């Protein structure tokens, strides 16, 4: 701090003494001198700030020279562009999310000359296209065809191509587009056809007229929906099988019991993956076709919430089936029609009740049907679940007895995901040891091979699930006390290894219950019982990593 002790104004600084004329004149002159000095200093500061800004801009430009992106080998840059431009293929259908984002691709090509050269020289970047013809007027179809042709030309003459398109116009698919598809049949390994059933009949007729033209397609997706006017019934059975002899994966999405859809399921003995989405139709028509797929390894059935297979549906043998996924199941009867001795993964997502009816969840038709057919699921697991390793059951509220019957049938399961757990009959936590001991004797013998357990909550339904006191969900501390007891029973049976051993069980707790902790004090006790095992006999996961099939 500046000292005024030697200043002529020292007598009147820091006080309220009366001043003389000379002191006032001196003070006025001193302020003028200070103002001039401040202006000089401000000019220096402004100059320094400008210099600082200039140096920062220069440093920013020079730093770009040292960026590792500038010296990436072309093969590495090509792989990066591949990840950014071409999303992974899902084995079922090409949708906009699974195809090349051409605008994003164009932006990346504009980064610099090197990136542009690598993009144009990497043929695999030009193999994936999805066209939604709703974005184009009918007269622009020839231009679209020429654009796709030029796009695929950059892929070279031999790489396999992936093409998906959607046509829902009131006019028929132009012959020019169908002819273009046929011209690429030797290279189209992945083909998605999203249109009406009647337009798919046109495609079938052209296949038949081509006298058995062979397509190299491995993955075929057909999303064929009816229109108000319907469509002609297909009589072209065998045409699809004859034209697509290399087919490995088939995705069929339909809302109609049309013969063309059934024709798609004729033959294809070498099929390894089948994905059926059936809306408001009779599943027996389609189930009767599944028995011929003896080489099937993955089967996904998305059912209508109002229809289920009947007792008259045939039983299908899948000796090589490893993965079975059933969504929006109205009942468990469907599993009684399947024999799969090699099954290692089973995912069932039941028909979720609507918000308006959820307060009567145990009385709604879907839940009643599931309860009535639950013994068929248990029988399926007991008689054919010897190789089962992954089991996921979602959106079905279970009571203690049904849950016990289910878990007793899952002795070989290593990864388990459920929405519910046992309800502890003791609502208070005055004696934690008593609660734990009471539950150990009931659950410690279950799931002897378990390595990962996920207690999940239906996404988007946490709030209304917790509104009902009769449901065993996150707001009920008895639910978590029982689960804590189960985990402690696993810790007590892990032998003498103690905390020095690696955790034996991975546990996923839903994000919702982690947020509830601290808001509801009653949940602190059971959740603390779980946390004290973290890193010792269990490992609590913070990310949702279980492969639950959800739609």
The answer to whether residue 357 scores a pLDDT higher than 60 is no
Query: Could you give the 3-state DSSP secondary structure of residue 549?
Result: coil
Task: Confirm if 305 and 395 have CB atoms less than 8 A apart.
Answer: no
The answer to whether residue 397 scores a pLDDT higher than 90 is no
Task: Confirm if 428 and 483 have CB atoms less than 8 A apart.
Answer: no
Tell me what pLDDT residue 89 has: 52
Tell me what pLDDT residue 32 has: 94
Name which of 193-197, 342-346, 419-423 the model is least confident about: 419-423
pLDDT range class, residue 446, cuts 50, 70, 90: confident
Extract the tokens encoding 491. 């810790």
Q: How far apart are CA 60 and CA 72, in angstroms?
A: 20
Tens digit of pLDDT for each residue in 82-106?
888 876 555 445 555 556 677 788 8
Q: How far apart are CA 377 and CA 367, in angstroms?
A: 14
Tens digit of pLDDT for each residue in 260-288?
567 778 778 889 999 988 776 777 777 77
Placement of tokens 């273009």 in the chain: 180
The answer to whether residue 523 scores a pLDDT higher than 80 is no
pLDDT range class, residue 309, cuts 50, 70, 90: low
Tens digit of pLDDT for each residue in 145-176?
999 999 999 999 999 999 989 888 778 888 88
pLDDT mean across residues, the chain: 78
Task: Enumerate the H helices of 411-518 as residue ranges.
Answer: 432-443, 462-465, 477-492, 511-516
The answer to whether residue 491 scores a pLDDT higher than 80 is no
**Cα separations in angstroms, 472 against 53, 112, 404, 467:** 62, 58, 15, 11
Query: Could you give the 3-state DSSP secondary structure of residue 105?
Result: helix
> 203 exposed, middle or buried (CB, 10 Å; 0-12, 13-18, 19+)?
buried
Placement of tokens 């297979």 in the chain: 309
pLDDT range class, residue 183, cuts 50, 70, 90: very high
Beta-strand relationship, 323-329 and 338-339:
unpaired
Tell me what pLDDT residue 458 has: 53
Three-state DSSP string of 264-290: HCCCCCCCCEEEEEECCCCHHHHHCCH
Beta strands in 104-229 (DSSP E): 128-132, 161-166, 188-196, 219-225
Mean pLDDT, residues 51-73 taken together: 90
pTM for the complete prediction? 0.77
> 26 exposed, middle or buried (CB, 10 Å; 0-12, 13-18, 19+)?
middle
Tell me what pLDDT residue 137 has: 84
Q: What is the residue extent of each domain of the chain?
A: 21-66, 414-551
Query: Could you give the 3-state DSSP secondary structure of residue 294?
Result: coil
Extract the tokens encoding 496. 């003498």
Enumerate helices (H) and strands (E) in the chain, giving the number of each.
17, 16
Tell me what pLDDT residue 39 has: 95
């Amino acid at each position: 701090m500046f000292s005024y002790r030697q200043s002529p104004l020292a007598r009147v600084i820091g006080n309220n003494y009366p001043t003389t004329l000379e002191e006032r004149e001196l003070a006025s002159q001193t302020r003028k001198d200070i103002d001039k000095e401040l202006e000089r200093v401000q000019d220096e500061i402004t100059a320094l700030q400008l210099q600082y800004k200039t140096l920062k801009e220069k440093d920013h430009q020079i730093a770009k020279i040292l960026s590792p992106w500038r010296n990436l080998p072309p093969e590495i840059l090509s792989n990066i562009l591949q990840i950014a431009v071409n999303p992974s293929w899902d084995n079922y259908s090409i949708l906009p999310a699974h195809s090349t984002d051409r605008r994003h691709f164009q932006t990346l090509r504009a980064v610099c000359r090197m990136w542009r050269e690598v993009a144009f020289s990497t043929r695999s970047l030009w193999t994936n296209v999805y066209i939604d013809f709703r974005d184009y007027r009918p007269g622009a179809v020839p231009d679209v065809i020429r654009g796709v042709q030029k796009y695929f030309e950059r892929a070279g003459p031999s790489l396999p191509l992936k093409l998906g398109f959607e046509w829902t116009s009131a006019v028929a698919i132009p012959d020019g587009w169908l002819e273009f598809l046929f011209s690429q049949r030797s290279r189209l390994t992945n083909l998605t056809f999203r249109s009406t059933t009647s337009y798919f009949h046109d495609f079938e007729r052209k296949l038949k007229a081509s006298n058995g033209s062979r397509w190299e397609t491995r993955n075929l997706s057909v999303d064929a929906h009816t229109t108000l006017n319907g469509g002609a019934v297909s009589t072209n059975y065998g045409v699809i099988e004859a034209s697509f002899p290399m087919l490995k994966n088939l995705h069929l999405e339909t809302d109609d019991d049309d013969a063309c859809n059934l024709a798609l399921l004729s033959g294809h003995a070498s099929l390894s993956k089948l994905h059926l989405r059936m809306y408001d139709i009779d599943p027996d028509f389609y189930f009767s076709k599944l028995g011929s797929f003896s080489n099937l390894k993955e089967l996904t059935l998305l059912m209508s919430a109002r229809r289920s297979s009947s007792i008259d549906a045939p039983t299908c043998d899948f000796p090589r089936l490893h993965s079975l996924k059933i969504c929006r199941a109205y009942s468990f009867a469907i599993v009684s029609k399947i024999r799969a001795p090699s099954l290692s993964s089973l995912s069932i997502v039941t028909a979720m009740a609507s918000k308006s009816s959820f307060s009567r969840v145990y009385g709604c038709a879907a839940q009643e049907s599931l309860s009535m057919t639950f013994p068929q699921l248990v029988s399926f697991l007991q008689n054919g679940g010897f190789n089962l390793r992954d089991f996921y059951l979602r959106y079905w509220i279970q009571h203690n007895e049904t849950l016990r019957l289910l878990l007793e049938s899952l002795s070989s399961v290593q990864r388990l995901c459920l929405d519910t757990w046992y309800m502890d009959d003791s609502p208070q936590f005055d004696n934690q040891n008593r609660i734990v001991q009471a539950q150990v004797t009931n659950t410690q013998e279950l799931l002897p091979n378990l390595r990962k357990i996920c207690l999940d909550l239906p996404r988007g339904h946490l709030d209304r699930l917790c509104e009902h006191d009769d449901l065993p969900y996150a707001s009920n501390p008895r639910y978590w006390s029982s689960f804590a007891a189960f985990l402690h029973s696993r810790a007590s049976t892990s032998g003498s290894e103690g905390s020095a051993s690696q955790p034996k069980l991975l546990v996923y707790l839903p994000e919702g219950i982690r947020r509830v902790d601290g808001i509801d004090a009653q949940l602190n006790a059971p959740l603390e019982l779980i946390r004290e095992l973290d890193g010792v006999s269990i490992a609590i996961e913070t990310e949702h990593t279980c492969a639950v099939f959800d739609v």
